[in-house]
Structure 1
Amino acid sequence: MSTSPFPLEPTAADAQAAIADEFGFFGDWSERYQYLIDLGRKLPEFPEAWKTEEHRLHGCQSLVWIVAEGDASSLHFHSISDSAIVSGLIYLALRVYSGRSAQEILATQSDYISAIGLAKHLSPTRSNGLAALLGFIRNRAELALGG
C-alpha cells in the first residue's frame, strides 16, 4: 500500500470548490494545461508491482493503472498514467473522490469538470478516459456498498 495525500479537503464538495477556485486564477488554457501537468507530478509514487494488466484502466488511450483499497466507510484510490495531462486529470479525480465514503462518492457528481471548462478542452479520447476513470471510482463505491 502506498501513502496517499488524499483527501486534501474535508468533503468532496469542498474539493470541487477548491479546484474551481484554483483554475479560476489562470487566464487561458495553456496555463491551465501546465497546471494540470504540474498537478500530475504531485501524484504519490505508484508501485511498479501494481502496473499490471489487472490494474490497467481500459477506455483510455494512455496507459492508466488504478488500485482501490478500503471499504464503504473510506475508499482510497491510487492511480498513475504515462501521460502528463492524464496524470493531472487523475490528480483532480483523486482529490475529489479518494479517502471518501462510498456514499459520498456516489452522491457527488463531478461538477468540477464543467466548472473549470475542462469538458470543452479535452480531446474525445481524453474525455473517454476521464469517463472511464470516474466510472471505475463509482463502480468501486457501488461494490463497497454491496451493489
Structure 2
Amino acid sequence: MKIQEIQNEIVGEFSIFEDWMERYEYIIELGKSLPLIDEQYKTEDNIIKGCQSKVWVHGEQENGKIVFTADSDAILTKGIIAILIRAFSNQKASDILEANTNFIDEIGLKEHLSPTRANGLVSMVKQIKIYALAFNAKN
C-alpha cells in the first residue's frame, strides 16, 4: 500500500471519533500494536532529540524498503510514533522523502498536543526522513 493510502486510512479512522478524549484513547491503543525496537537498538544514537519522553527509532533496509521499529517510555508518545511507523515503514526511501505529512494536521494531532509533544512529533518525522535520506544515498 502506498504512503498516501495509509495516511488516508489513518485520517478516516480518526474521523470516527467525536472528541479528543476518544482520539487520545485510540492513540494509546495504537501504541500497544507498535513493532517494538530490539533492545540492542535502545541506544543514545537512536533516541530522538527534542522529545520530552524517551523515544527510540531504528530503521533498516529490507528488500529495498525501510522497516522501522520504535519504543517510548510514555504511552501517548508510543501511540504517536506507532502512527508514523504505520505510515512510513515498509516503504522505499525515495517514497518516504517525497511523502507529505499533511495527515498529521488533518487528524488534528499537532494542535491537540502540548508544545513539547508537538516538537517531539516534528522531531520524530524528521528522524524518519533522515533514515530515508541515508538509505536513499546508499542506493
CA distance 1:138–1:72, change in 2 (3 Å): farther
2:37 to 40, 43, 46: 46
Paired-residue identity, %: 38
Indicate yes or no: 2:72 matched with 1:57: no
2:64 to 69, 73, 92: 73
Query: How many Å separate the matches in 2 of 1:125 and 1:27?
Result: 25
Query: How many Å separate the matches in 2 of 1:106 and 1:71?
Result: 17
Q: 2:55–2:72: 8 Å Cα contact kept in structure 1?
A: yes
Give the deviation of 1:11 after TM superposition.
0.7
Q: 2:37–2:58: 8 Å Cα contact kept in structure 1?
A: no
Query: How many Å separate the matches in 2 of 1:108 and 1:21?
Result: 18
Gaps of 5+ in 2: none
Give the deviation of 1:66 after TM superposition.
1.0
Indicate yes or no: 2:11 matched with 1:20: yes
CA distance 1:28–1:122, change in 2 (3 Å): same
Deviations 1:76-96 (A, max 9, x none): 111110111111110110011
Aligned with 2:86: secondary structure?
A: helix
Counterpart code for 1:79: A
Aligned with 2:69: secondary structure?
A: strand
Q: 1:36–1:85: 8 Å Cα contact kept in structure 2?
A: yes
1:99 to 90, 95, 111: 90
RMSD between superposed Cα atoms in Å: 1.5
Length-normalised TM-score, structure 1: 0.88
Query: What does residue 133 of structure 2 align with?
Result: 142
Give the deviation of 1:119 after TM superposition.
1.6
Give the deviation of 1:47 after TM superposition.
2.4
Length-normalised TM-score, structure 2: 0.93
Query: What does residue 4 of structure 1 align with?
Result: none
Give the deviation of 1:103 after TM superposition.
1.0
Counterpart code for 1:87: K
Q: 2:48–2:55: 8 Å Cα contact kept in structure 1?
A: yes
Gaps of 5+ in 1: 1-9
